[in-house]
């Protein structure tokens, strides 16, 4: 009887795996469809090529007016700010001020109704969509780590990266220590089927993934999760290093990021109320002082 039960188990186990595989496949296909939906704005076929140039680009918002739909309230009511090429610019402001919307407009997931947005001095409406998105790297908040190896996680958007480029991205994001610690290095399974990475590690994996595509402008929505002191320091170093090579625009949730930023854009109620360094804004702007005291936990 035991032998029979074992036999049954062997028969059933692969079926279980097949079912699981089918579910994963469906999830993957659904995700791909969603990506296609996002990438294909009406009338445009989008391929995201690697950027033709690696030169950092600046950004300019001029009197930008935007609402998510005709019957929706204004999110941006004349937003204006300038980010020169290279360096670190932080976007801060209370919840709902329109910070994530800045990223959505830059990626052209939505079209602004009035005003001008330029990337690299060129109106974003004049950029071929694929080229624009190829020039941008986007690191979302609490970026997911996919089931698969660390190598697969890093290379899925940059299949042709060389070993040298991969090694460099790992060094720049301080992930080489992690690779050394993992039992099978880069070929260790991570995500929910493997070694679980901490919040700080996950965000650095997402930054490494974005860097492998050589972005000319990196949009980073900083993780809000608590980081231990070592991970906090590493993230700060990584952001500073990346900002030395390309333009970084970050929605900042950490004091260490705003104090290191070359400039901070303070958004509130659909507009930009102040721009300056942390020291300047602490001295000049009441809302920034309040944000600094609460959002960034400074007293």
Catalytic residues: 222
Residues touching ligand ATP, count (CB under 6 A): 10
Binding mask 100-119 for ligand ATP (x = CB under 6 A): xx------------------
Instruction: Give the Cα separation of 62 and 51 in Å (integer).
Output: 25
Decide: 135 and 119 in contact? Cβ < 8 Å: yes
Query: Pairing between strand 217-221 and 136-139?
Result: parallel
271 binds ligand ATP (CB under 6 A): no
Contact partners, residue 237, CB within 8 Å, separation at least 6:
174
Tokens of 74: 């204004």
Contact partners, residue 217, CB within 8 Å, separation at least 6:
56, 57, 59, 106, 119, 135, 136, 137, 246, 247, 248, 249
93 binds ligand ATP (CB under 6 A): yes
Which is closer to ligand ATP, CB of 145 or CB of 272?
272
Which is closer to ligand ATP, CB of 21 or CB of 96?
96
Given candidates 57, 64, 75, 150, which one binds ligand ATP under the rule CB under 6 A? 75
Instruction: Give the Cα separation of 221 and 252 in Å (integer).
Output: 7
Which is closer to ligand ATP, CB of 74 or CB of 147?
74
Q: Which stretch binds ligand ATP (CB under 6 A): 28-36, 98-106, 204-212, 272-280?
A: 98-106
Which is closer to ligand ATP, CB of 186 or CB of 265?
265
95 binds ligand ATP (CB under 6 A): yes
Residues 49-68 that bind ligand ATP (CB under 6 A): 68
């Amino acid at each position: 009887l035991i032998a029979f039960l074992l036999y049954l188990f062997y028969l059933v186990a692969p079926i279980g795996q097949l079912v699981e595989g089918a579910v994963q496949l469906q999830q993957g296909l659904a995700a791909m469809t969603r990506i296609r939906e996002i990438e294909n704005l009406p009338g445009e076929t989008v391929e995201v090529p690697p950027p033709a140039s690696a030169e950092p680009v600046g950004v300019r918002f001029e009197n930008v007016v935007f609402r998510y739909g005709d019957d929706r309230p204004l999110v941006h009511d004349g937003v204006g700010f300038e980010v020169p090429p290279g360096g670190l610019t932080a976007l801060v402001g209370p919840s709902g001020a329109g910070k994530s919307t800045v990223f959505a407009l830059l990626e052209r997931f939505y079209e602004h109704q009035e005003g001008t947005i330029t990337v690299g001095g060129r109106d974003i409406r004049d950029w071929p969509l694929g080229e624009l998105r190829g020039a941008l790297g986007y690191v979302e908040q609490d970026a997911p780590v996919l089931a698969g190896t660390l190598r697969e996680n890093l290379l899925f958007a940059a299949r042709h990266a060389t070993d040298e480029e991969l090694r460099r991205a790992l060094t720049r994001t301080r992930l080489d220590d992690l690779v050394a610690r993992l039992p099978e290095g880069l070929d260790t399974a991570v995500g929910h089927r493997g070694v679980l990475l901490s919040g700080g590690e996950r965000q650095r994996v997402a930054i490494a993934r974005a860097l492998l595509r050589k972005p000319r402008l990196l949009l980073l929505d900083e993780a809000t999760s608590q980081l231990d002191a070592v991970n906090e320091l590493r993230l700060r170093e990584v952001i500073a290093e990346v900002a030395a090579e390309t333009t970084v625009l970050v929605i900042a949730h950490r004091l260490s990021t705003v104090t290191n930023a070359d400039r901070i854009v303070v958004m509130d109620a659909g507009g930009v109320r102040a721009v300056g360094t942390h020291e300047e804004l602490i001295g000049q702007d009441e809302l920034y002082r309040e944000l600094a005291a609460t959002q960034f936990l400074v007293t």
